[in-house]
Structure 1
């Protein structure tokens, strides 16, 4: 089956969040199942730099509002990702000094509606046979950046084009929707009727995410729990009504872990390797990490870690409130992340006040993230909401027990450790109330279990053996593709 995956970023070339991890891992998992996936990406500098055997497939002539000087579509291969790719080479749109979505001051580019509408429009053209040697049977669009792809497919169908592929739209995070002022609609080249309640219109503005939800043949999101939650007013971000109307077309498919990247038995970024059967290397990883961070060198203190964007969604203010008690009870804490300036400053202040027990690195460093997760004992993910979450999956894989709030994919992947569950399915620590008290209740259970090494090891080994690869997700996606392609 031929699948065109449409997305804005892909690991390891360009990553701002979990979307890139999924975009990088899913094609390989689909290929292993016998499918033929290709990806369509904007021509950001890291992507162009890795594109091998590139040939110009076509000069792009989009609607006037989406024109970019000398825009062309390249076809080649991304060796770092192991996938065949189409890349939109439009320097005026994608080669900028800042990030993929915002400038160096974190101001969103004012023409983002044009930059990512071109991505969706190009997907529509590939769906109609722009590459005469390869035509997709399914177009799979990811998040708001690619959400107009199903809309352009619907517009082509309404214009009489036949033989179009089916479409799937995946919501990775409903909170980021791609909202733009209504006067930009004319630049998109879509039929006027598409700017309506039954289309892109959302409280008088353009909503890219809504286009994907409305026009795609099927909708998926990244965990069964999140699929249920986004149909409620509390977590629907204003789109719960649209999602409830399409409830029979909505499926939650849990993300997996790319085991070629995240595997403590093989990870070249670690100072020592280990597995569920041979855990000795994890202690060496912890000792090395404590030395690297300047923390007190002791195995007796459980080391809690965070690897996260510093945003309100992630519940990190709860950790700041709970941190004094954690340290008083003998724990250590280390964080890697960046984002909200106030949170950055608060965590820096905590580290400055107690450098023997608290270490903070602002920014993102992929290699250090591996060392931090491998060397820690507990990974904290106390999110307000969490579509799937990947860090708790990395924690399970690395025997770093996740402490999570029971929400979205966190609740789907982590089983709470209590006395009555230790010999059954316990793999971490789970709390419900979004408060520092709720977090501390789970942390106290973690601290108590850590003082019982045999029980800790039992839960740790169960966590590491928890199925977390992409094969099951790939099978579910392929079943969905086949269903709608038929």
Structure 2
């Protein structure tokens, strides 16, 4: 099967968050399972190419209709982990993808609308046409719409990674890519309810794609049946016949404590005591006091409202009060949140048991996963979450809210019907300080009073399979369904 994945991100070339890891992990595993895979990205000027082959121009060029003009696009290509990556480089005075970053521009909607129109021009070329096109998040939501509008009959899968970002745009943008407003700007298609001048790109992708999924079964249920659907609940119910959830995986070669070159000492389930060498290295790196009586409680997270920043701040303070050492690695885009954590950093600057690093450092992230005892994930909502999967692979026990993929992957040490050897962490339900305190207290008490049982929780998490093998097989089945839907 020839599969084309279209996205705004793909690690290591272009990564701003979990979407980049998703595309990299799924594409690589699909290729290992024998599929022919292409990944289609914008040719950002910020691509990370230092350790990769130089992209080579393709003979194929595109003329992309946009805003009443034809825009010339060059296509570049390079090979990654068994798959080809195609980069679309438009020649426009706006320099759409020459901004030094992936997102955060005032014209993001226009930039990704153009990208979507260019992708349609590329994938409908007779020499290119894939068997299935897999689009991701709002930035590519127009692609299934455009293919449907052109009656292109190219099977499409559309993945929702976070419905908190739906791509609400000015309605005129639909005309810029050649769509008829009278047809497409309706309540059952792209129109934003109560606003005749705006369109919802994610809504369009849901309506027009052959199959739609999100990144965990629990999140699929939540966005249909709770406020986490962010207004999409009725639409998802109407299209539930083609909608479901597939849990993400992690790259088991990148995140492997047996081989990870960014940690202090390699270890695995059979050599778990060697994890202590990473704990010691983490303390040295972060300037923490050496101690045998305090576990390390970590946070590795974006600092935004989705991630439960109020609960993170409270959890750091409460964890310290319960006798843990604290390490946080994270950064915030919102000034008020950034200021709040900067104040905490200053307050604890000389504390022997606290270290806050307000940035992102890939090497430190690996060492935290390898050296911490517990990791705090109090998300208000979490479509899948990679943090808990990575942490468990490194023998670090998650303490998390029972939402989305966190609920799908964590079995509570005390309150679970799962067998003991399947229990791997701590969960709490309500987004309150009291609920978090109870879970923290249970975890730290077990670490202190019953170390053998705590070690078993570590081992349970380390022995589980959260690789991309099973998710990739599920996506292949989804692609087959999309192919059958087109035939019917």
Task: Tell me the TM-score normalized by structure 2.
Answer: 0.92
What SS does structure 2 have at the residue aligned with 1:360?
A: strand
Does the 8 Å CA contact 1:223/1:255 hold for their aligned counterparts?
yes
Structure 1 distance, partners of 2:187, 2:460, is: 49
Determine the structure 2 residue equivalent to 1:18. 18
Deviation at 1:68, TM superposition (A): 8.0
Deviation at 1:82, TM superposition (A): 4.4
Does the 8 Å CA contact 1:66/1:115 hold for their aligned counterparts?
no
What SS does structure 1 have at the residue aligned with 2:260?
A: coil
**Count of matched residue positions in the alignment of Structure 1 and Structure 2:** 471
Of the three residues 426, 430, 446, the one matched with 1:429 is 426
1:318 aligns with 2:311: yes
1:153 aligns with 2:142: no
Determine the structure 2 residue equivalent to 1:143. 137
Alpha carbons of 1:67 and 1:10: their partners in 2 closer, same or farther (altered >3 Å)? Answer: farther
Determine the structure 2 residue equivalent to 1:196. 186
Does the 8 Å CA contact 2:62/2:122 hold for their aligned counterparts?
no
What SS does structure 2 have at the residue aligned with 1:19?
A: helix
Determine the structure 2 residue equivalent to 1:222. 215
Determine the structure 1 residue equivalent to 2:342. 348
Structure 1 distance, partners of 2:236, 2:39, is: 26
Does the 8 Å CA contact 1:52/1:78 hold for their aligned counterparts?
no
Determine the structure 1 residue equivalent to 2:394. 398
Determine the structure 1 residue equivalent to 2:249. 256
What SS does structure 1 have at the residue aligned with 2:470?
A: helix
Structure 2 distance, partners of 1:64, 1:118, is: 7
Structure 1 distance, partners of 2:136, 2:419, is: 38
Of the three residues 394, 408, 411, the one matched with 1:412 is 408
Determine the structure 1 residue equivalent to 2:43. 43
Structure 1 distance, partners of 2:312, 2:322, is: 14
Structure 1 distance, partners of 2:48, 2:278, is: 36
Determine the structure 2 residue equivalent to 1:125. 121
Determine the structure 1 residue equivalent to 2:155. 166
Determine the structure 2 residue equivalent to 1:300. 293
What SS does structure 2 have at the residue aligned with 1:434?
A: coil
Deviation at 1:318, TM superposition (A): 1.0
Structure 2 distance, partners of 1:61, 1:365, is: 40
Structure 2 distance, partners of 1:325, 1:68, is: 59
Deviation at 1:16, TM superposition (A): 1.1
Does the 8 Å CA contact 1:94/1:100 hold for their aligned counterparts?
no
Structure 2 distance, partners of 1:8, 1:239, is: 22
Of the three residues 50, 62, 65, the one matched with 2:64 is 62
Deviation at 1:210, TM superposition (A): 0.8
Determine the structure 2 residue equivalent to 1:286. 279
Determine the structure 2 residue equivalent to 1:176. 165
Structure 2: 5+ residue runs without aligned partners? none
What SS does structure 2 have at the residue aligned with 1:170?
A: strand
Does the 8 Å CA contact 2:392/2:462 hold for their aligned counterparts?
yes
Deviation at 1:256, TM superposition (A): 0.3
What SS does structure 2 have at the residue aligned with 1:220?
A: strand
Determine the structure 2 residue equivalent to 1:105. none
Bigger drift between 294-303 and 282-291 goes to: 294-303
1:76-113 Cα offsets, whole Å, 9 max, x none, are 2243x5420211112644443442111xxxxxx23222
Alpha carbons of 1:419 and 1:73: their partners in 2 closer, same or farther (altered >3 Å)? Answer: closer
Deviation at 1:51, TM superposition (A): 5.7
What SS does structure 1 have at the residue aligned with 2:19?
A: helix
What SS does structure 2 have at the residue aligned with 1:235?
A: helix
Does the 8 Å CA contact 2:44/2:100 hold for their aligned counterparts?
no
Structure 1 distance, partners of 2:69, 2:24, is: 29
Structure 1 distance, partners of 2:102, 2:365, is: 22
Alpha carbons of 1:97 and 1:129: their partners in 2 closer, same or farther (altered >3 Å)? Answer: closer
Deviation at 1:251, TM superposition (A): 1.4
Alpha carbons of 1:233 and 1:433: their partners in 2 closer, same or farther (altered >3 Å)? Answer: closer
State the Cα RMSD in Å.
1.9
Structure 1 distance, partners of 2:130, 2:214, is: 21
Structure 1 distance, partners of 2:365, 2:82, is: 23
Deviation at 1:147, TM superposition (A): 1.2
Bigger drift between 145-154 and 297-306 goes to: 297-306
Structure 1 distance, partners of 2:68, 2:392, is: 44
Structure 2 distance, partners of 1:467, 1:194, is: 43
Does the 8 Å CA contact 1:169/1:216 hold for their aligned counterparts?
yes
Structure 1: 5+ residue runs without aligned partners? 103-108
Alpha carbons of 1:68 and 1:454: their partners in 2 closer, same or farther (altered >3 Å)? Answer: farther
1:446 aligns with 2:443: yes
Structure 1 distance, partners of 2:70, 2:427, is: 49
Deviation at 1:470, TM superposition (A): 0.4
Deviation at 1:320, TM superposition (A): 1.5
Structure 2 distance, partners of 1:25, 1:220, is: 17
